[in-house]
Amino acid sequence: MPKILAFAGSTRAGSINRRLVEAIVPLLEAEGAHVTPVDLKDYEMPLYNGDLEERDGVPEGARRLKRLMAEHDGLLIGSPEYNGGFTPLLKNTLDWCSRRETDDPAPLVAYAGKTAAIVSASGGKFGGMRGLVHLRQILVNLGVLVIPQQVAVGNVYEVLGEDGSFNDPTMGNMIGDMARALVQVSRLSA
């Protein structure tokens, strides 16, 4: 059974990207995955600074999240779009979790052998698609296999119901296909 770590690159209480990730979790479980949803606010990290790392090491929040990532076969990342890119919170998280510590068995232990699905949601018509381009580049650079079935949910307030259902059958099918692909590919590395 593949293990998927699911999180959004936002800590905002009303985050629509967190709601989207939460709506996808049951789809992943229906495909046979064990899913661990996490909230990045539970993993505090200062802005990455090499001097800070040299002085204090990797922050405890990053160490805990990095260990959790290493224990999973795949990642589901919901990424808000900020000015055409992904969030500073998500970039900072990816950066800290990439740092090698003396007890790591290999470089990039949080990302090695991982498969990821990336999604985005917004109230606009493009759904955060521009930010996913940048996120894909960073994840690939870290050695993550990002499946091609990325989904950007535009007009999310019309598409995603309060109960987590998809009011648009086409979008629901795209999300379902993405969930299926993530589980299938993650199963290969499990």
| Domain chopping of the chain, boundaries | 3-189
The residues that bridge with 146 in the sheet, in sequence order, are: 116
> How far is residue 128's CA from residue 163's CA, in Å, rounded to a whole number?
22
Residue range 118-172, pLDDT digits in tens: 999 998 888 899 999 999 999 999 999 999 999 999 999 999 998 989 999 999 9
The H or E element that residue 29 is part of is: helix 16-30
Helix spans in 31-168 (H): 50-56, 60-70, 88-97, 129-141, 156-159
Residue range 69-124, pLDDT digits in tens: 999 999 999 999 998 899 999 999 999 999 999 888 888 999 999 999 999 999 88
84-110 burial code (b ≥16 CB/10 A, e <16):
ebbbebbbbbbebbbbeeeebeeebbb
> How far is residue 78's CA from residue 49's CA, in Å, rounded to a whole number?
25
Q: What confidence tier does 190 reach under pLDDT thresholds 50, 70, 90?
A: low
In this structure, are residues 185 and 145 in contact, taking their beta carbons and an 8 Å threshold? yes
What pLDDT shows up at residue 125? Answer: 87
> Which residue shows structure tokens 């800290």?
96
What pLDDT shows up at residue 166? Answer: 92
Overall fold of domain 3-189: Rossmann fold (3.40.50)
In this structure, are residues 82 and 131 in contact, taking their beta carbons and an 8 Å threshold? yes
What pLDDT shows up at residue 152? Answer: 95
What pLDDT shows up at residue 16? Answer: 94
Q: For 142, what's the count of Cα atoms within 13 Å in the CB-facing half-sphere?
A: 25
**Residue 42, Cβ density class (10 Å: 0-12 exposed, 13-18 middle, ≥19 buried):** exposed
Is the pLDDT assigned to residue 32 strictly greater than 70? yes
Kindly state the average pLDDT of the residues 15-35.
97
What pLDDT shows up at residue 10? Answer: 96
